Structure 1
Amino acid sequence: MMKFACTAVALGVIATASTFTLAEESKLPFPGAVSGNISVVSSYNLRGMTNSPESDTPAIQGGLDYSHDSGFYLGYWFSTLTAAYADFNTSPTYIPKEKKSFENDFYAGYKGKITDDLGYQIGGTIYYYYPGWESTGYETIVGLSYKDFTVTAQTLLNNVTFGNKGDTYFLATYAPKLAGDFTGKVQVAAYYYGDDDEYLAYQAKAGDVTKTDFAFRHATLGVSHPLGETGATWNLDYIFGGYTRDETKQKNKVVLGVGYAF
């Protein structure tokens, strides 16, 4: 029943947002452009973590983005979670206490062009999960893009409850336009794992301690299409599960989403 209620509320928000029309784009009191998005997904599987998703029930997600003609950008993104993040203490006798959390991502950076088709990106993200400062992560991102193809590398700068300093997530994405207003998505991802395990060592019973330096993380095949004339878009992804730092094989999974951009 809770799954249905969550989904119904999110779809209602999207449907309501899609009814708004503007005669003309309002002029901002400062240079640049602001955009937003809201969506609901059947489950939230952070970077291919299908065995232990951030949300194993429908999650509401959304954000706001600012971009400047110079290439500078900044934004905020959020997601509801069902996963619990532990409140850790460095004392060896301390017992972690799990608390429900909420994801907040704050990011900024710069996107530039080398040629008309070749671009680059450099920036950073702060991941803040409430509650629990031990889960607050700082990450850099560098990337290259060529037409519909993008490659990025995101590196953690500190130890957190979900990763170690130096962990780097490599992601290659190809998103071509297809016939009939469809858009395709092909992704392949891998992880380089640091081995400090400052916080992960407390989760040894769950098998979270680092055992491998590098592993295939996931592959994703997806497709999206406008949802009639509503302004919303539906998307369907199939995740091929890879391996986590403890060499656990992640299961394959289908994820359905509906979103609205404004």
Structure 2
Amino acid sequence: MVKSVCKMIVLGALAVTSTFIMAEDNTLPFPGTITGNVNVVSSYNLRGMTNSPESDTPAVQGGLDYTHDSGFYLGYWFSTLTAAYADFNTSPTNIKEDKKSFENDFYAGYKGKITDDLGYQIGGTVYYYYPGWESTGYETILGLNYKDVSITAQTLLNNVTFGNKGDTYFLATYAPKLAGGFTGKVQVAAYYYGDDDEYLAYQAKAGDVTKTDFAFRHATLGLSHPLGATGATWSLDYIFGGYTRDEAKQKNKVVLGLGYAF
């Protein structure tokens, strides 16, 4: 039932947004702008997690974003996935592998300017999975950006089945415009891991008990390019796998994507 409601919300929001965009004057009945995107990727690799179950199959993803001229933003993002961590119940013996799930991310914040080239970001995200209420997480984000370079730090505020309170994901991204209409992507990421381990029994079965405080998580090299005049864009990413909280080495992986922004 909840999954159906989530899909109805997504489809309804896309329909409303499309109506606004197709209006002749291309304006909204309120201040600000709304943009959206729909993507298909060969695998969903959350923050470089190339060994996890959600990496096994293609995923459909997309979202809507509202931006006000003041810098305030509000958005929603979703993805289909296969994830064992979304199936934790009251006992670790109830874990069911390869269960189809649905990720919903609700976020809001503010993006401001210090100078013409230097900006900052302050915000937060709620992660809700169905099925998998134990995976509902609350996270803050702080960021700085200078021209084509950005650095963000995202910190969990509660213990969930996939992380501990205080876990912080650091991500540096360089996305330059290249010749021939290409856009490049270079990313390097690291994780600081909290050691509360509230879900120790569950994590022990999944092999995720905290063994290290800080680790290189992943690096990514990517290219993207518009697909002719279709409005779609293809992308190719190569992920260099790092290490998770249990010091497990993640494999390297190629990820293909096709997206449409509106």
Q: Structure 1 length normalisation: TM-score? A: 0.88
Question: The residue matched to 1:184 in structure 2 has which SS?
Answer: strand
Secondary structure of 1:203 counterpart: helix
Unaligned runs of 5+ in 2: 1-20
| 8 Å Cα contact 1:119-1:146 kept in structure 2 | yes
**Shift in alpha-carbon separation, 1:47–1:77, aligned structure 2, 3 A:** same
| 3-state SS of 1:54 partner | helix
Query: Who is 1:198 aligned against?
Result: 198
* Counterpart secondary structure, 2:257: strand
Q: Which protein is richer in helix relative to its size? A: 2
* 2:38 aligned residue: 38
Change (3 A) 1:159 1:25: farther
3-state DSSP of counterpart to 2:31: coil
Residue 58 of structure 2 corresponds to residue 58 of structure 1:
yes
- The aligned residue for residue 233 of structure 1 is 233
Contact 1:163 1:200 in 2 (8 A): no
Q: TM-score, normalised by structure 2?
A: 0.88
The alpha-carbon deviation at position 170 of structure 1 amounts to: 0.1
Please list, as runs of the form range in 1=range in 2, the aligned pairs for 1:122-201 lying within 5 A after superposition: 122-201=122-201
Cα distance in 2 for residues equivalent to 1:165 and 1:24 = 48
Counterpart check, 1:244 vs 2:224: no
- Which structure 1 segments of 5+ residues have no match? 1-20
Shift of 1:200: 4.0
- Partner of 2:93, secondary structure, is coil
For 2:255, the equivalent position in structure 1 comes to 255
CA distance in 1, matches of 2:200, 2:134: 11
Displacement after TM superposition at 1:94 (Å): 6.0
Q: Tell which deviates more after alignment, 156-165 or 22-31.
A: 22-31
**Structure 2 residue 83 is matched with structure 1 residue 83:** yes
- Counterpart of 1:223 in structure 2 is 223
Aligned letter for 1:95?
T
Percent of aligned pairs with the same residue?
Answer: 85
Deviation string, structure 1 residues 99-149 (Cα, Å, up to 9, x no partner): 532100000000000000000000000000012221000000000000000
Deviation of 1:192 after TM superposition, in Å, equals 0.2
Aligned residue-pair number: 240
Q: 1:226 to 1:113 in 2, by over 3 A?
A: same
67-76 or 193-202, which deviates more: 193-202
Structure 2: distance between partners of 1:162 and 1:25: 45
Query: Aligned equivalents of 2:107 and 2:151: distance in 1?
Result: 18
